[in-house]
Amino acid sequence: MEKVILKQLSFEAFDVFVKDLGWPKYRAQQVRDWIYQKRISRIDEMTNLSKSDRALLESRAVLGEIEPGLRQQSADGTQKFLFRLSDGQEIESVLIPEEDRNTLCISTQVGCTLDCTFCLTGTMGLVRNLKAHEIVDQVLWVQRDMESEVKQDLPERTTGRASLLTNVVLMGMGEPLANYREVTEALRRLTHPKMVGLAPRRITLSTSGLVPQIKKFGESGLNVNLAVSLNATTNAVRDRIMPVINRQFPLETLLRACRNYPLPPRRRIFFEYVLLKGVNDSEEDARRLLRLVKGIPCKVNLIPFNDYPGAPFSRPGEETVLRFQKILIEGGLTAFIRKSRGRDILAACGQLRTATEDRPTLIESVRS
Ligand code: SF4
């Protein structure tokens, strides 16, 4: 009999599986706790199950983990993780430690169909969508890794349930809303209080602008943050840098969807804007941006382009970036300049692409 992969089971499927084993219902939560809260790596670590129950579970199921591969650390502390999936495909996640938070950027697809011209992931094409458990497992694996590091340093101050990861962003490889079913199931598991249990406001999904899915996502009740990669203030420029998505859903259609997006109270949409020298970084662009987002509760994240070898764009000077921000702020917008992290290991925004053929450079694909 083929073994069940425990991490593939939804909350409800878990209950059914435990019932089929002839176990009482509460046992489902015990096993879920071991997987999602204590983040074990082997079934025989489930010590509140008797030896015979663990043996039964092992005979019928496996955990089904993604496999860690190469890991790189940037001079600024950013860490890039390569993970190998059960079919040999590879994905990347990037951990960005800051003073008051630790943010993990995770992938939702192997590659991407959308071919944005400033993004290395787009050059791979789409290899396949990730399954919900492959998305969630990036979080579980990094949480476990962070805990084990802290335990080595400060053993008396940590417990098995502690989570040092504060924020998760779906901005790694792939367009999350193009893998809608698996991504929303992953978000259900990440936010379910009896599974991973992260607060929805700590999670941000970033889309290049798939309008029908944005609408559906707003109605999903998941209540995580929405970020939209805008990157241009005219269709002519957006057609050039995000050709596939902008031809389908031009700026006016995208902004209408943002205007109608049902935001939870006190939340705002994040607009991401990659600044490309001489392409979208003029004062006129800044003023047009103000007009475009007028009336939408939002914040703007400005991301000076991160170069990579052979990149068709370059990074604007600091003065240009600051002037762009100043115009937005003076116009009444909240606008941040995102600090580049991990540029030396090609883990910064806009630099992601796997993969195998690029080693040892590896993971180059964090996007906007
Ligand atoms: S920016 Fe995002 S949507 Fe565009 S190609 Fe890169 S991964 Fe895909």
The confidence band for 349, taking pLDDT boundaries of 50, 70 and 90, is low
Of 60-74, 280-294, 324-338, 354-368, least confident by mean pLDDT is 354-368
Nearest ligand 1 atom to the CA of 229 is 1
Q: Is residue 337 part of a domain?
A: yes
Active site (annotated) includes residue 116:
no
CATH classification of the domain holding 17:
1.10.150.530
121 lines ligand 1 (CB under 6 A): yes
Predicted confidence at residue 352, as pLDDT, reads 56
Domain check: are 49 and 76 in the same one?
A: no
Domain check: are 86 and 54 in the same one?
A: no
- pTM of whole model > 0.95? no
E-assigned strands of 245-346?
A: 269-275, 298-304, 334-337
119 lines ligand 1 (CB under 6 A): yes
Nearest ligand 1 atom to the CA of 115 is 5
Judged against a pLDDT cut of 70, whether residue 168 lies above it is answered with yes
Domain check: are 120 and 255 in the same one?
A: yes
Domain region containing 350: 67-358
DSSP string, 202-251: GEEEEES--HHHHHHHHTSS---EEEEE---SSHHHHHHHSHHHHHHS-H
Q: Torsion over CA of 176, 100, 306 and 135, rounded to 10 degrees?
A: -20
Predicted confidence at residue 123, as pLDDT, reads 80
Task: Phi first, then psi: give them for residue 266, nearest 5 degrees.
Answer: 60, 20
Domain check: are 19 and 162 in the same one?
A: no
Ligand 1 centre and the CA of 98: distance in Å?
25
Residue pLDDT, tens place only, 201-243:
999 999 999 999 999 999 999 999 999 999 999 999 999 999 9
Half-sphere exposure of 324 (CA within 13 A, CB side): 30
Residue pLDDT, tens place only, 331-345:
999 999 988 777 666
Active site (annotated) includes residue 258:
no
Distances from the Cα of 257 to the Cα of 32, 210, 213, 264, angstroms? 37, 10, 10, 15
Judged against a pLDDT cut of 70, whether residue 347 lies above it is answered with no
Domain check: are 179 and 227 in the same one?
A: yes
Q: How many angstroms from the chain centroid is the CA of residue 189?
A: 14
Contacts for 94-97: CB closer than 8 Å, 24+ residues apart: 94/172, 94/342, 94/347, 94/363, 94/366, 95/142, 95/146, 95/165, 96/341, 96/342
Residue pLDDT, tens place only, 116-161:
988 888 788 899 999 999 999 999 999 999 988 776 665 444 444 4
Q: Is residue 291 part of a domain?
A: yes
Predicted confidence at residue 157, as pLDDT, reads 44
Judged against a pLDDT cut of 80, whether residue 40 lies above it is answered with yes
DSSP-derived letter for residue 272 is E
108 lines ligand 1 (CB under 6 A): no
Q: Is residue 366 part of a domain?
A: no
Pocket test for ligand 1, best of 94, 116, 120 (most atoms within 8 A of CB): 116
